[in-house]
Amino acid sequence: MKMILLGPPGAGKGTQAKGIAARYGIAHISTGDMLRAEVREGTPLGREAKSYMDKGQLVPDEVIIGMVKNRIAAPDCEKGFLFDGFPRTIAQAEALEKITDIDRVVDIEVPDERLIARISGRRMCPLCGATYHVSTYGSDKCSCGGVLYQRDDDRAETVAVRLTEYHKKTAPLIDYYAQKGKLLTVNGDAPVDAVADEIARELDA
């Protein structure tokens, strides 16, 4: 099972990806999480990526493609994998096609005005990557013990750039995968469990 989760920043891709990957026993591959780990470790790749991420811009395709190629060669990807946040451009999708075949693409749709509220209230755990929303979670500690923080690129100034990048460069992938007959669309403007149920129904159908 090789899948892609598409959707704008704040659509809930990370949250849903964890559930889907666990359900199918496949690896969850978040290029955003991989890049943040590189930034934390201060690697050359992390230093290059950070300059784009801080501005809300996409990291260059060749950096991402190289990183993904290595990742899917790992043993935990043998049974399949779910991409969360990749591909984000047509060039990335075309490069991916040369490396492997994708079975399904799930597009989580949420209107822009909802995304801004979701992203600005989002808090993340530096240890396990879990995300919470200030409106529904009253603590500053993750269930794993990590102290929650706000991602630099979740601040209002950067969110606008990320949404523009999404509409210009990533949204064309919806048509791209629809034309290949691989696209499933779910309404992401609903409670987490309802979205998870809709995704499961679509995938089982």
The residues annotated with a catalytic role in the active site are 13, 88, 122, 151, 162
Determine contact, residues 114/189, Cβ cutoff 8 Å.
yes
Q: Does 188 bind ligand AMP (CB under 6 A)?
A: no
Beta-sheet strand order (sheet of 104-109): 27-30, 81-84, 2-6, 104-109, 183-187
Give the shortest CB-56-to-ligand AMP separation in angstroms. Answer: 6
96: part of which helix (H) or strand (E)? helix 90-99
Site mask for ligand AMP (CB under 6 A), range 74-113, x = bound = -----------xxxx---x---------------------
User: How many other CB atoms sit within 10 Å of the CB of residue 72?
Assistant: 18
Give the shortest CB-205-to-ligand AMP separation in angstroms. Answer: 27
Give the shortest CB-122-to-ligand AMP separation in angstroms. Answer: 10
Q: Does 162 bind ligand AMP (CB under 6 A)?
A: yes
Q: Does 52 bind ligand AMP (CB under 6 A)?
A: yes
Nearest to 106 by CA among 25, 26, 204: 204
One residue of 5, 35, 106, 184 binding ligand AMP per CB under 6 A: 35
The one segment of 56-64, 112-120, 123-131, 197-205 that binds ligand AMP by CB under 6 A: 56-64
Nearest to 38 by CA among 27, 30, 49, 28: 49
Residue burial 101-135, b: 16+ Cβ < 10 Å; e: rest: ebebbbbbebeeeebbebbebbbbbeeebbbbeee
Residue nearest to ligand AMP (CB): 32
Q: What is the DSSP letter of 80?
A: -
Q: Does 3 bind ligand AMP (CB under 6 A)?
A: no
Chain residues binding ligand AMP by CB under 6 A are 9, 31-32, 35, 52-53, 56-59, 64, 85-88, 92, 153, 162
